[in-house]
Structure 1
Amino acid sequence: MLQHSQILIGTHGLEGDLCTVDSARGLVLFAHGSSNSRNSRRNLTLAQTLQRQGLGTLLFGLLTPDEADDRANAFNVELLALRVLEAIDALPAQARGVPLGLFGANTGAAAALVAAARRPDSVQAVVSRGGRPDLAGDSLELVRAATLLIVGSADAEVLQLNRAALRLLRCEKRIDIVPRATHLFQEAGTLETVAELASAWFLAHLRAAA
């Protein structure tokens, strides 16, 4: 049974949409460097797929509307990572203790990896969708969470950056290239492929403590 609630995150009171699942196999926090990502059609579609697999989800924007007006903030990985950490800390009692994964897109993927590096005992898995993991910098070598990088085959520049980041990761890792897909995975069937790959990765790597 799905239970939906809203939570407030951090000192700026960012709104988060939390969906918990009875006997959840894990909880996946979405990280996207914008203010309205919790209402993104793509994120909602991906979240619903994860929920059907028995995973809870938390959708929220990493920036306030005012912050999002300044394009530079979308590339402020330190700020975005702080917001991811604040979201982890804001999880209510019913969501604590559930195996935790992070699902990042664009610069939010770098923020997710930085957060995972700083919370190695909390974050078990990370998935990047068309992300910029290269922007995580020195944190890449510190990530211990199992990390999957998903990139479209037609997103040539980002694919090159992901391959470079993959070489720096020292955790369990993999890169999956979705045929025909461009940066936003708008081509028919490509977002569904992302959902399948991400679900399988989280289910394989989110494990309850013994």
Structure 2
Amino acid sequence: MLQPQHQCIELTDVQLVGDLLLPPGAKDLVVFVHGSGSSRLSPRNQHVARYLSDRGLATLLFDLLTEREQRIDQVTCELRFDIPMLTRRLVGVLDWIAAKPELRHLPVGLFGASTGAAAAILAAVERPRSVHAIVSRGGRTDLAGEALEKVQAPTLQIVGARDLPVLGLNRKVSRALGCEQRLEVIPGATHLFEEPGTLQEAARLAGDWFESHLREPIQLGA
């Protein structure tokens, strides 16, 4: 089994840690942007990362918060909703990838979950030449606000049919997005996709989306 490579990601103001799965001959890279109280050790994101790796896509799981910040957030829950900070860090990671010789040639897709999906949207707007595709799983894409109409990367929202609050928000986002987009609703799934087969279906949809869009030239608007 392919083993993850531990990464120390040096940004201007903080050092983050990540795990890189780099299959031989990988032509694309999917960066995971976790949300609400999660981390790179999330079994759900690790499951999806392994699935994408088996399809030949490189994946990067990283922690948006330091260990100290994670301890604070477990008590206050405030940092997971600090979308501007999460976005700044994600943009920093995108710049780190662009400077890393073994990664900079790979088209990048973002896989955002919960509040991390909003950071993915905002980072794609800030770095339109770096992000080729976006997938949101149970994501609070609505928290990206007015930036939604500026997104140019093809965007797929995946949401559970029983996750009614997020489903309603994702439907509004679907109408607000000006880019190529799709909303996929998985029957029987709740917010965490814990029901049998639902997470695997989300992973399959994500894999299909990334494989369809990551190698397309980025079409920037005027």
Same fold (TM over 0.5): yes
Q: How much has 1:189 moved relative to structure 2?
A: 0.4
The match for 2:87 is: 81
Task: Give the partner amino acid of 1:163.
Answer: R
The match for 2:16 is: 14
SS in 2 for 1:101: strand
Q: Is the 8 A contact 1:33 1:108 kept in 2?
A: yes
Q: Distance in 2 between matches of 1:7 and 1:36?
A: 18
Q: Distance in 1 between matches of 2:56 and 2:5?
A: 17
Greater mean deviation of Cα atoms: 85-94 or 197-206: 85-94
Q: Distance in 2 between matches of 1:17 and 1:81?
A: 19
Q: Is the 8 A contact 2:108 2:132 kept in 1?
A: yes
Give percent identity, aligned residues only: 50
SS in 1 for 2:102: helix
Q: Is the 8 A contact 1:50 1:199 kept in 2?
A: yes
Task: Give the partner amino acid of 1:159.
Answer: L
- The answer on 1:5 being equivalent to 2:5 is yes
Q: Distance in 2 between matches of 1:155 and 1:190?
A: 12
Unmatched 5+ stretches in structure 1:
none
SS in 2 for 1:151: strand
- Among 136, 150, 156, the residue aligned to 1:148: 156
- Among 189, 193, 211, the residue aligned to 1:203: 211
Q: Distance in 1 between matches of 2:165 and 2:3?
A: 40
CA deviation string 1:128-174 (max 9, x = no partner): 00000000011111111000000000000100000111111111100
Matches within 5 A, 1:171-182: 171-182=179-190
Q: Distance in 2 between matches of 1:73 and 1:187?
A: 28
How many residue pairs were aligned? Answer: 210
Q: CA RMSD in A?
A: 1.8
Q: Which has the higher strand share?
A: 1
CA deviation string 1:159-197 (max 9, x = no partner): 000011111111110000000000000000000000100
The match for 2:106 is: 98
TM-score by length of 2: 0.90
Unmatched 5+ stretches in structure 2:
none
Q: Distance in 2 between matches of 1:209 and 1:109?
A: 23
Q: Is the 8 A contact 2:36 2:81 kept in 1?
A: no
4+ residue segments displaced more than 6 Å? none
Greater mean deviation of Cα atoms: 188-197 or 59-68: 59-68
Q: Distance in 1 between matches of 2:85 and 2:34?
A: 12
CA deviation string 1:88-140 (max 9, x = no partner): 12222101121100000000000000000111111000000000000001111
**CA, structure 1 residues 209+156, in 2 after alignment: closer, same or farther (shift >3 Å)?**
closer
Q: Distance in 1 between matches of 2:103 and 2:3?
A: 11
Q: Is the 8 A contact 2:8 2:15 kept in 1?
A: yes
Q: Is the 8 A contact 1:35 1:62 kept in 2?
A: no
